[in-house]
Amino acid sequence: MRMIRIPFLFLLFFLTAFFSCNSGKRETALQTWEDSLASKEKELLAREKTLEIREAEILKKEQSLDSLRSDSMQTINPKLAGTWSVKMTCTETTCTGSAVGDTKNEQ
């Protein structure tokens, strides 16, 4: 019975030593992989912040250019308000009810 225990213990010790030698390489590889993931995550967060800033700037510009959100009479000279006579020439085929080159006079 004692003879069986000694080879079994020796085998167990050998396997433990063998796998522990390899674990250092695995740990360093895992650590470098985790570091690269962390740096990629930081880059993505930085890109997300810049996109949020750009989106806020675009919304701000859109709001300032949108004539429906503000009263246009405040920005235009009040002397210009009134009835105007306009001559329009269709330059695209998307004009409704007109062909390219047609002219219309409206007030």
Which tens digit of pLDDT belongs to each residue from 64-73?
777 555 555 5
Instruction: Please write the tens of the pLDDT for every residue from 37-83.
Output: 999 999 999 999 999 999 999 998 888 777 555 555 556 666 777 77
Distance CA 60, CA 63 (A): 5
Backbone φ and ψ for 17, nearest 5 degrees, come out as: -65, -40
Mean pLDDT is lowest, of 16-20, 51-55, 67-71, 96-100, for 67-71
Confidence at residue 92, expressed as pLDDT on a 0 to 100 scale: 75
pTM score, whole prediction: 0.40
Confidence at residue 76, expressed as pLDDT on a 0 to 100 scale: 67
Q: Is-contact 62 53, C-beta < 8 A? A: no
The Cα angle at residue 33 between residues 28 and 39, in degrees rounded to 5: 125
Residue 95: C-alpha distances to residues 50, 59, 84, 91, 107 (Å): 40, 30, 21, 8, 18
* 67: its two tokens: 């004539």
Residue of 86 and 56 predicted with greater confidence: 56
